[in-house]
């Protein structure tokens, strides 16, 4: 019961975070006085504002099956998903506090900025409380290697045939990719319309970044929480996936810190779209290639049922 209470608390704090963050990022007058209105802080906030509702939705969808067979797996998996949700929020909050600490855009601060910081303090306190509850409710038993149930079996298994469920488990990467492309099209389209973007290269870059970010999000959260139990994969498939994840993380970090890094090298900001694409995509591709080489040289890790 303690574990379920902690998970519900995580969902509640996520709802508060999402409501305040959407208001602060989508209301243009309010955004104009926000310390974290642009990069590097906005990269972390944007990832959270998109990822938090998705992760919260899949957690909530599994709660009706809480007392069904497989309770030990379900409890541990859902608690780990709530932990991932809390970590995602925590990273965004950390970026926001970083912007406050360096007084980013201080000349634009006014009473609304004070209200934003007060809201940040409230959400931070909620998040720390939830993190403590999740830590106290953690279970010492069981590992991902021993899981025999997953979210797919609990939720989709009610409406899909066993053959379809088995296909999804075998083709999880395809499912992740398809969902990521849909998310990328929706987000990039909304961004292009909302910001009045007209440069095809910039729109294409933004679409690719969202697709890769959502794919990495799916892979990492599935590894942590066992949404889809994946059968053993070939070494090549594991290396390719690890490389894609590492490259995407590098791309996101370069996107966040491109201006200070480029300024340190050349004395100026990244002020053209081709330069933005070259730096960020180049960092991602180089990291992916390095990861592939390192992973290929290592001994194959033991295969597990869920990753």
Q: How far apart are CA 238 and CA 255, in angstroms?
A: 26
* C-alpha–C-alpha distance, residues 305 and 136, integer Å: 27
In tens, the pLDDT along 225-252 reads 888 888 888 888 889 999 999 999 999 9
The pLDDT score that the predictor gives to residue 241 is 92
Q: Residue 307: is its pLDDT beyond 50?
A: no
Residue 300's pLDDT is what? 55
pLDDT at 150: 80
pLDDT, position 13:
95
Q: Which residue has the higher pLDDT, 127 or 155?
A: 127
pLDDT over 90 percentage in the chain? 60
| Helices marked H in the chain | 2-26, 28-31, 41-62, 71-101, 111-136, 151-155, 162-170, 172-195, 200-225, 235-266, 273-297
**Per-residue pLDDT tens for 141-155?**
555 555 667 888 777
Contact 129, 69 (CB under 8 A): no
pLDDT tens profile 80-101 = 999 999 999 999 999 999 999 9
Identify the band that residue 113 occupies on the pLDDT scale cut at 50, 70 and 90: very high
Range of lowest pLDDT (67-71, 100-104, 186-190, 192-196)? 67-71
User: Left, alpha or beta for 173 (phi > 0: left; psi -120 to 50: alpha)?
Assistant: alpha
CA angle, residues 165, 167, 169, in degrees to nearest 5 = 70
DSSP 307: -
Q: What is the pLDDT of residue 144?
A: 53
Is the predicted pLDDT of residue 215 greater than 50, yes or no?
yes
Is the per-residue pLDDT at 53 higher than 80? yes
């Amino acid at each position: 019961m303690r574990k379920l209470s902690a998970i519900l608390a995580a969902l509640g704090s996520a709802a508060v975070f999402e409501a305040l963050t959407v208001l602060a990022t989508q209301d243009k007058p309010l955004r104009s006085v926000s310390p974290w209105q642009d990069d590097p802080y906005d990269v972390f906030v944007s990832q959270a504002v998109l990822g938090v509702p998705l992760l919260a939705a899949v957690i909530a969808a599994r709660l009706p099956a809480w007392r069904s067979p497989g309770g030990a797996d379900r409890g541990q998996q859902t608690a780990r998903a709530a932990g991932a949700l809390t970590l995602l929020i925590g990273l965004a909050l950390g970026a926001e506090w970083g912007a406050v600490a360096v007084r980013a855009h201080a000349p634009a601060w006014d009473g609304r900025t004070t209200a934003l910081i007060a809201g940040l303090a409230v959400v931070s306190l909620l998040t720390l409380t939830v993190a403590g509850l999740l830590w106290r409710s953690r279970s010492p038993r069981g590992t991902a290697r021993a899981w025999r149930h997953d979210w797919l079996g609990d939720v989709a298994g009610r409406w899909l045939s066993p053959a379809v469920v088995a296909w999804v488990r075998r083709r999880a990467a395809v499912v992740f990719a398809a969902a990521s492309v849909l998310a990328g099209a929706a987000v990039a389209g909304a961004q292009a319309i909302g910001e009045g973007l007209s440069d095809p290269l910039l729109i294409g870059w933004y679409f690719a970044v969202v697709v890769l970010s959502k794919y990495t999000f799916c892979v990492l959260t599935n590894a942590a929480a066992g949404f889809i139990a994946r059968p053993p994969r070939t070494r090549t498939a594991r290396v390719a996936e690890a490389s894609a994840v590492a490259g995407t993380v590098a791309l996101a970090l370069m996107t966040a810190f491109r201006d200070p890094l480029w300024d340190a090298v050349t004395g100026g900001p990244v002020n053209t779209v081709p330069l933005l694409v070259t730096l960020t995509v180049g960092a991602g591709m180089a990291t992916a290639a390095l990861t592939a080489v390192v992973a290929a040289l290592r001994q194959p890790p033991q295969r597990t049922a869920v990753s």
